[in-house]
Amino acid sequence: TITYNSAISACGNSAKMQRALVLLDDMDRNVLARDIITYNSAISACEKYAAWHAALSLLADIGQVILEPNTITYNSAIAACEKGAEWQR
């Protein structure tokens, strides 16, 4: 999980949001548990592209896997909505 988290974060930082989301799906195929850092990294990658819909989808997923969102989670999701001009969501 740590390796995937690092790779997802690196993709987000290097303008490769789609690759970050592919890595997230790879975790499921490899039966690796996502943690809050995984989600934070992926939502942050979405934020950089103003991909508010993907960010909110990931935020909804967190509740389904019984993880607790934190300040970073919410701030990244809010920033994605703001950058996508969907701040009212």
- Rounded to whole angstroms, the Cα distance separating 61 from 4 reads 18
pLDDT score of 65 more than 70: yes
Helices (H) and strands (E) in the chain, counts: 5, 0
**Predicted structure pTM score:** 0.90
Nearest-5° angle of CA 26, CA 27, CA 29?
A: 60
pLDDT score of 86 more than 90: no
